[in-house]
Structures are given as structure tokens and as C-alpha cells.
Amino acid sequence: MARYALKIEYDGGPFAGWQRQDNLPTVQGAVERALSRLERDVPSIGAAGRTDAGVHGLGQVAHCDMAKDWDPFRLSEALNHHLKPDPVAIVDCVRVEDDFHARFSAVERQYIFRLVTRRAPMTHERGKVWQVMHDLDVEAMRAGAAHLIGLHDFTTFRASMCQAKSPVKTVDEITITALNTPHGREYQFYIRARSFLHNQVRSFVGTLERVGAGAWEPVQVKQALEACDRAACGPVCPPQGLYLAGVGYPTDPFVR
């Protein structure tokens, strides 16, 4: 068997998340169907992260094992052909060592959340951003976000159905950028960590939006974190503005 790493981009809107589910459209299911058109009995693929329904991928990474020794470029081209018309694309493909694992070899995940403020309904960006109708104070949100960086017990920002063994995680970076765009004032939240709890990013952004709107003081983010109580979290924002932007490895397999 030959192992390949795939960098995958997808629109999460039509899917019930990444992970394969019976009788529901998923990104994993779409990729595995495309693989089955190339070879019979292809083993299940592994991915760096299991994104939820409606969450998008810019740099999801998965690995697959193929019986044939494929040229990576031809493999990606063949997969993209068979992925049509699903909004999924293999943007890069490389041959990797047999011990490479998209999930367990990863040392970092990067997420971007896009939030747009404007009154008019979204048209071109509908389903790709979270829209709120009021202005936000970016400096206040940055002050609130500073309390979330580092090693903490993130019970407050963890979904009740989260299956992680421990709520203790290290968040390495939260950068909030404000941009004037043709579709409105856009705020991008770039969040980087080795791993995340279920709904952690959406819980962060939903809470920070309350800070930006003036409903919370920045120090209340610290108080919510220290409460270690899910009830202390702000509203969990919707999934459509969330993107798995990239995955880090000790050696980037996609750098030639």
C-alpha cells in the first residue's frame, strides 16, 4: 500500500459535517466515494479534524492508502474529477511515509472565523460568514481574547457532548483583524492551538462578540473562564463563519 496526504478544501454548507454518517451527506463520504471510483476496497481515510455541519475547510488534511503507486498529481486530478459536483476539492496531494497520520502526526490546528457587520441581508457571502447588525469594538474583543491565550481549563467553552478526555488545552494565538470589505465590515478571528475541544472556537467567538457589542466587559471573559462552568459561556455562534484553515506538522508534507 502507498500512503498519500491530501489537502482538502470544501464548502461545509451542504454537508452534515466531515465524519461519515449513514444516510447523510458528509465530506468524508464524498472523498471516499471518489476514491472508490479509482480502486476497490480503499480503506477508510483519516483526517486532522472532524468539522461540524456547516463548517468549511480551507486546509483540511487527510491521508489515504492506495494499492496502486499513484503519481500524486494524477491522483488529485482523478479525485477532483470524481468529486464533481460536490463542493469539495483536493488542492494538493503528496506521497508520505507509512507512519504519517493526518490526525496523530499533527502538532497544530488553525481556524479562522469570519464575522460581518451590516444591516442588509448577505447575498454573495451567505452561508460563509456570521452576520450581526451592530458595530463591534475590536479593541475590546482583543482585550477579552487575551484572557483565553495559554494553558487553561476550558470547561466553560466546551460543548456538553465533547468527548475529549480533558478540558485542559493550550491556546497559542488569537488574532482579531478588522477589514473594510465590499460586503461590509468583516472581523476575522484567527485561532491557533495543538487541538481544540468540541465547539471551543464557536464558544470563543460568540463570547467575544458580546464583548465587542458592549454587553460584556473584557474582564468578564476571564471570569467566565475561571468559572469552569458551561453556563458561564456566552452564546455559541453559528457554524457558517468557521473555517479549518490549516494543519501543522513537524515537517510540512506539502512543502516540496
Residues taking part in catalysis:
52
CA distance 69 to 85: 26
Please tell me the distance from the alpha carbon of residue 137 to that of residue 130, in angstroms, as a whole number.
16
Q: How far apart are alpha carbons 65 and 100 in whole angstroms?
A: 11
* Listed residue (45, 204, 180, 211) closest to 111, CA to CA: 204
Q: Which residues contact 126 (CB under 8 A, 6 or more apart)?
A: none
CA angle 79, 82, 85 (to 5 degrees): 120
196: region left, alpha or beta (phi > 0 left; psi from -120 to 50 alpha)? beta
Give the three-class secondary structure for 204. helix
CA 182 → CA 23, 64, 89, 90, 133, distances in Å? 39, 40, 26, 29, 16
DSSP characters over 83-124: HTTSSEEEEEEEEE-TT--TTTT--EEEEEEEEEE-SSPPST
**8 Å CB contact between 156 and 176:** no
